[in-house]
Chains A and B, each alone.
Chain A
Amino acid sequence: MTDSPAISVLDREGLDALVKTLTTEGRTVVGPTVRDGAVVLSELASADQLPFGWGTRVEAGHYRLIPREDGAAFAHTSGPQSWKTFLHPQREKLWSADRGADGQLSLTAEQPEQPSYAFLGVRPCDLRAIAIQDRVLTGGHYQDSGYRERRSGAFLIAAECTEPGATCFCVSMGGGPAADNGFDLALTEVVDEAGHRFLVRVGSEAGAEVLSHVPRCQADVETQTAARRAVDAARDRMGRAMPPVSLRTLMGQSLEADRWDDVADRCLTCGNCTMVCPTCFCTTTEEVTDLTGDHAERWQRWDSCFDLDFSYLHGGPVRSSPRSRYRQWLTHKLSTWYDQFDSSGCVGCGRCVTWCPVGIDITEEASALHDELEARLRLQEQAEQQERTEKVQ
């Protein structure tokens, strides 16, 4: 590894200078901070608000903050929110309608000025999740204009992972703890005898421009090596893994599996998994009228495929059983997403596992479906073999 002018090192003050530079440019800086016993995403005025000295312990259905002696800021795993809270907000006004005295309608698009965001501490899995939502909301024939504006104006500062959580499985989803592209700047936190510092790589012209205003040093070999080692080690410390098969094919062959009944017995159909998932994009619409009755507003808000109304078609829901709703969620994530948007809908961030109140684990469900399918195929093969031998006899 050689020294490269594109790679520099910031200390804690440098990180704060980065936040201040972005704020001065008129950006709304959003990053992780500790609140109510969790690491949440919130507007930051200073880098001091980052969760220095906090880590997380996660398991299926379990999340807890734990203090860290090393004072690291990015040693926590995904919290209950993701960046979609800002790019694809929970509620958004679409248009308003006014009815004149003669019954005439006038319809006005809602075109508010969108904030210019800077996201600090975007995990590599979340970079991939943002790229997935980009494809869904702006990659097709129609574009979600609000999303497009917020997204195109957003400045992304990645934070590579050195402390994967017990529910993380990005590696088995084809990702990993390293940030390869899709960022303006990428940080790797290093804490050792030489001090607490952040290796910074530049990923775009905008990133280079912003960084030029920030006091920094050229990266030394030791810091670069330590950073690479920590990220490489994280790759081998994933808490979970998906079965190493084509999940797309597995789901396609498992639509009538018995396992759906098993998971349906445990699932509360609360929809938490869809709310915390960084790629879940589904929305519904609401009509809001004022007291005069001549002014109406059309709002969009997050929806969940676990909601009974989600599939309502005159007379009743298409997917009424919990079995069919869990199946919809899992097969969409891992299989039909490819048909619709040319990629998987899961990046392996582990949020749905951590935040499921009953600890349902997407990797465990996929493995069980895989085992069931294998068993079924074995039986089929045995039956065919028997038929062949009977014919010979």
Chain B
Amino acid sequence: MNDVPLPYRVTQVRDETADTVSLALTPAGPTSLAPFAPGQFAMVYAFGVGEIPVSVSRIDRRELVHTVRSVGAVSAALCALRPGAHVGLRGPFGTGWELDRATGQDMLVVAGGIGLAPLRPLVFDALAAPRAYGRMNLLIGARTPHDVLYSQQVHAWTAAHGPLHCGVTVDRPAPGRLGHVGVVTTLLNGARFEPRNTTAFICGPEVMIRATARDLLQRGLPAHRIRVSLERNMRCATGHCGHCQLGGVLMCRDGPVIGWDRAESLLSVREL
């Protein structure tokens, strides 16, 4: 490891769900990290606690947004930060979604739970140049309606009749809320895409990624056009700590976004 984190200031804290928070960060000093691409991640350092990898969920010139779910000591400390606090940031690390791959094709973005976070900047970029792509679909799965991230934004997308078809499904409905119930793959039938000419971007729990990718393969999407983002334990993000291995893949370097042509066999071995 060599680079020391750069101090970033928390400019805004947004509660997304009961356990998930979005932190808007700007450089505390004159220097900032190199630009991030959608799908890439930073190592975010909570003073006195530790560092975790977090994907960027919004990229706005010098400002970065990271959406963090409180699941461990570091993420809990990050979720408890208030505006004005400082964090340390290293990055950008890893492979991005590479939206270019979808140029001239239909686009299928499938998100499960917190998996929507790394996909959000991809959707923003695609919407900024809708003519470059065919039909655009965003399919979102969550445990309950309260667990849908960026709910206002998602609501606006589902209600609009723009270039983006957006569908939401939940495992368990909340009383008084209408909507689709079921796993996210049940939304595929309502999506508008020509399988042989589609690029898919998937992020979520591994079971959901597997189920979605298999469904898409069956519909005729070539494996290399299915891009998935995976997660592994990570300490350094620079390829030296060995923690993020998945078979021959070093997730910090070769991932987190990889093609299903490479991921499929790796994810089919238990406890690899």
Contacts and interface: CB of A to CB of B under 8 A. Distances in A.
Contact of B88 (A107, A300, A305): A107
Given A97-B88, A318-B271, A283 B4 contact: no
Interface string A303-332: 101000011111100111101100010011
A103 B84 contact: yes
B106 interface: no
Given A137-B240, A142-B239, A144-B2, A324 B88 contact: no
A281 B6 CA distance: 26
A218 interface: no
A313 B49 CA distance: 17
A282 B242 contact: yes
Contacts of A293: 48
A287 B241 CA distance: 16
A340 B244 CA distance: 12
Contact of B86 (A94, A95, A103, A145): A103
Contacts of A305: 242
B242 A303 contact: yes
Contacts of B250: 340
A interface, by DSSP: helix, strand, loop or mixed?
A: mixed
B245 A336 contact: yes
B142 to A, nearest CB: 17
B243 interface: yes
Contact of A107 (B5, B49, B85): B5
Nearest to A318: B271
A383 interface: no
B69 to A, nearest CB: 8
A172 to B, nearest CB: 23
Residues of A in contact with B, size category:
35 or more
A313 B50 contact: no
Given A142-B238, A324-B270, A336-B248, A99 B47 contact: yes
Contacts of B4: 94-95, 107-109
A266 B52 CA distance: 35
Residues of B in contact with A, size category:
35 or more
A369 to B, nearest CB: 15
Contacts of B269: 255-256
Interface in A123-180: 136-137, 140-145
Contact of B72 (A105, A314, A328): A314
A106 B242 contact: no
A338 to B, nearest CB: 8
B51 A285 contact: yes
A162 to B, nearest CB: 35
Interface in B216-242: 231-233, 235-236, 238-242
B5 A283 contact: no
A229 to B, nearest CB: 41
Contacts of A140: 238-239, 253
A266 B259 CA distance: 37
Given A105-B87, A314-B71, A340 B248 contact: yes
Interface of B: 1-7, 28, 45, 47-51, 71-72, 84-88, 231-233, 235-236, 238-243, 245, 247-250, 253, 269-272
Interface of A: 94-95, 97, 99, 103-109, 136-137, 140-145, 255-256, 281-285, 287, 289, 293, 296, 298, 300, 303, 305, 310-315, 318-321, 323-324, 328, 331-332, 335-336, 338-340
28 contacts: A94-B1, A99-B48, A103-B86, A104-B86, A105-B88, A107-B7, A107-B88, A140-B239, A141-B238, A143-B2, A144-B2, A255-B272, A256-B269, A283-B235, A283-B240, A284-B235, A284-B243, A285-B241, A287-B48, A287-B49, A313-B233, A318-B232, A318-B233, A319-B272, A320-B271, A336-B247, A336-B248, A338-B248
> 7 closest A-B pairs (Cβ-Cβ)?
A339-B248, A282-B242, A324-B271, A142-B238, A105-B86, A314-B71, A336-B248
